[in-house]
Structure 1
């Protein structure tokens, strides 16, 4: 066997291996351009952007009213802003509102306070989750 035959066989073996790997990954082995993983990432739905002014306002309301008027504050946030409390893992209370989620093992008050802190952090990050 000469060098030219060896190179040709090695090239064919490499192409066969690449085609097998492409099929294993769900690609068309006959396609000229293999799929770009970035294209699939772009197809995934993007998380909705957070309303930074709303988060700032809600965090300020919670900070101002959470000690003296907690029950009234919670009622207003539930009816007007969509605040939801749910039971979380290991006795935690989960608080969700305006695209931000927080939890606390110190009850609803702790969860709402943690939510306000999480909202302020989101505003500082520019709304990125």
Structure 2
């Protein structure tokens, strides 16, 4: 299971707060943050940035007999601050079952855009989305 705490151990990163793990990888700073948990279903974003680019992917896991579906969404604004596109799914929908994990590929976050992960626990219908990463 790839929870935020597990991710910190796997990459050998140091936690900078209760909600973020940051690691330097080449020219990129990689940050794992902005998660959502629904009783045994977990989703969080991994964001890598440098001076000219920002990419993001969603990571998901399930535990204790749960089956969950999850995906990555993006919201975009116009330069004047008005909404250009509300939250829209931009990745495939992933299914994770007890003690398994999945992740989306890297997605370009774009200019004036934010991304978030959403997850549904299939057996209860419980659902939630993280805050956007900008």
Q: TM tier, shorter chain?
A: under 0.3
Is the helix fraction higher in 1 or 2? 1
Larger-Rg structure? 1
Q: TM-score, normalised by structure 1?
A: 0.23
Is the strand fraction higher in 1 or 2? 2
Instruction: Determine which structure has greater relative contact order: mean sequence separation of CA pairs < 8 Å that are 6+ residues apart, divided by chain length.
Output: 2
